[in-house]
Amino acid sequence: MMESSQLNDAQLKYFQTLVAEETGMRLAAGKRNLVVSRLSKRLRELELDNFSAYISLVSSAAGLVEKQTVIDLLTTNETYFFREQPHFDFLKKLAIQRENKGGPLRVWSAACSSGQEAFSIAMVLHDCLGTRPWEIVGSDISLNIVNKAKAGVYPLAEKEKIPPEYLKSYCLRGTGKQEGKLQVCKELRDRVSFRHESLLDVRARQPAYDIIFLRNVLIYFDAIKKQELVRQVITSLRSGGYLLVGHSESLSGDNPDLRTLAPSIYQKK
């Protein structure tokens, strides 16, 4: 790995500005090591000696595709199955309440990264509602990571986060070339759709969603952008619907259209 000192302040500023302009996300100065670790492999693949050469490539007329690669590498966040379990307990209660009501239960997994959140939601809904109508949409700004989510293939070690009954019912263990991996079953993959899009570019969707998971992404935005993002996202949330954010995030006072039900759980008025 390259030493972080090989990424000088001006070069770090370049990547911070690029990410902010393309996504609205704030890449803090303390993320220097993250930038180095995620981009240094790409420099080796391109046989470039330093970040100056890489920035020249990204900035060139021929660098549009590479610019997307930078965004993909710097905005992909850690995720895993059933992260923050209380949200899935809440989802299960809603699904059980919805069991005998008409119309599909619609859920949006926003900034879904590689899809573990969306498939965790799918496992809960299939367990509670079976073939009754329900729909899940996952979205992320990284095209590469969206394609990974669509495949539903993950390292076998991720099985440790999945409840045993769900692992048995909804996951397949890889063999041969897929040894050491697991795949979410086709039945669930067919029920979840994934989209490549920026949250800041999303327009209100109809019919509106009943639940939106917007977790562990707001921390990457400054206060003004965070308010703008939440206002934009909840235009796709029905009145009485629920917005779930990360347990380390708070919307206190940020939006008058939301009321707090529990820490990190909000309801649209």
Among 72, 140, 189, 215, the one annotated catalytic: 140
Residue 212 contacts residue 154 (beta carbons within 8 Å): no
Contacts of 117 by beta carbon, 8 Å cutoff, 6+ apart: 79, 83, 109, 138, 213, 215
Nearest to 54 by CA among 44, 145, 4: 44
> How far is 23 from 142, CA to CA, in rounded Å?
10
Residue 218 contacts residue 111 (beta carbons within 8 Å): no
Residue given tokens 């330093």 in the structure block? 50
Residue given tokens 């809904």 in the structure block? 125
Among 38, 42, 191, 238, the one annotated catalytic: 38
Name the amino acid, one letter, at 166.
Answer: Y
Which pairs with CB-CB distance under 8 Å and at least 24 residues apart come from 59-67? 67/18, 67/22
What are 137's strand-pairing partners?
108, 193
**Helical axes 64-75 vs 143-151, angle rounded to 10°:** 60
* 38 is annotated as an active-site residue: yes
Q: Which two tokens stand for residue 94?
A: 């809603």
Provide the annotated active-site residues.
38, 140
